[in-house]
Amino acid sequence: MSTGHNYYKRERRRVGILKKRGSVLALMRLKRKFSLVIVLVSFLMIVSIASADLGTPVTSSWAYSTPNINGDLAGGEWTDATVRDFTLEMRSRSDGFLVETLNARFYVKNDETYIYTAVKIFNDDYDVQNFIWGWDGFGLLFEDNHDHVLAQGDNGEGVHTYSGSVWYANNDLYFNATLNSWDADTQVGKTNDGALAWSHTDPVEEALGDWTFEMRIPLVGTDGDTYDLAITSLPKTVGFKIWFFEMDEGMDGVYPDDPAENKNALEVKDGATFGNLVFVPEPPPPVGGIAGPIVIQITEINLLAPLFLLASIIICPMALIAILVKFKKKKL
């Protein structure tokens, strides 16, 4: 009886030891899996942040109404647009000194054929005369291929407020890589496909008021990808830069604005300082009175940043709970 009892105790002890070893091994495996999840999520977040473009991306909304491009934001024309408020730090071209800050507002929407945009700049003086280059200018510039490099033929839309300027009526722009400048398409025999109109609320020289610049830009221009946008499918992300300049005072403001560069005029020639502008497809129609799911293909890694952050918030606590539950079961 004693021998059998001792054998039974030894077997129980051996089984207990094996269970403990199994629990330890299981815990170690779970720890390794948990560490792998943490490393993976961290890596994805680091890659996402490192690949991000300047500023917060702007996603164009779908255009359910077509605005009249006349320099007047009439009631109801832009209620379906994405709206972004921003500031323009107007800095000297010579030394980058901050002269003044202007408040501004960006409207953007698109359909399958055109991009519709408008920019309002508040409380700035009216300048249109030609003495000592005494006019103002505006440009919405694109880095078409979204490779962070301005290349020959990248597209833009802009205007000089002086009636004698080439830009006054010829508003389609292209990047001239040879001269490192933005020039009018018509200067090299290309067509003026876009439309631009502007106004000022107090059109008296040097009077303070609000500028409005209103534009329609084709997704696919007649001059091809070498001088125009050539967006044949949606969604599509391009680089963008808003540029406002006052020739009489030799100063420029840009959005988005690279804080590392004081001379804003240099940013309009550097595709690495452009922001992201995303053009979207038409949302699906409502199904049975309830809106159907919207599926948007994500083609730029920086747009995944919110998803990676969400994944880290959800996965990490779940993995920790799984470890605790597994360990508790093993103990029992």
Write the pLDDT tens digit of every residue in 79-137.
Answer: 999 999 999 999 999 999 999 999 999 999 999 999 999 999 999 999 999 988 999 99
Residue 289 lies in a domain: no
pLDDT of 295 higher than 50: no
How far is Cα 27 from Cα 32, in angstroms, rounded to an integer?
Answer: 9
Tell me which residue range forms the domain holding 82: 58-279
Residue 33 lies in a domain: yes
109 and 35 in one domain?
no
16 and 162 in one domain?
no
Residue 203 lies in a domain: yes
Model pTM above 0.95: no
**Which CATH number fits the domain that encloses residue 132?**
2.60.40.1190
87 and 43 in one domain?
no
Residue 293 lies in a domain: no
Residue 285 lies in a domain: no
Q: Strands 114-125 and 136-143, how do they pair?
A: unpaired
129 and 11 in one domain?
no
**pLDDT digits 0-9 by tens, 259-287:** 999 999 999 999 999 999 999 999 998 77
117 and 93 in one domain?
yes
**pLDDT digits 0-9 by tens, 182-191:** 999 999 999 9
321 and 261 in one domain?
no
pLDDT of 312 higher than 50: no
Looking at the structure of the chain, the number of domains it has is: 2
Residue 156 lies in a domain: yes
DSSP code of residue 65: S
Mean pLDDT for the stretch of residues 47-65: 76
How far is Cα 193 from Cα 171, in angstroms, rounded to an integer?
Answer: 9
pLDDT of 23 higher than 60: no
164 and 306 in one domain?
no
**Residue 41: predicted pLDDT:** 36
138 and 26 in one domain?
no
pLDDT band at 227 (very low <50, low <70, confident <90, very high): very high
Using DSSP, state whether 324 is helix, strand or coil.
helix
Residue 238 lies in a domain: yes
Match 């994405």 to its residue by tokens.
Answer: 82
Residue 22 lies in a domain: yes
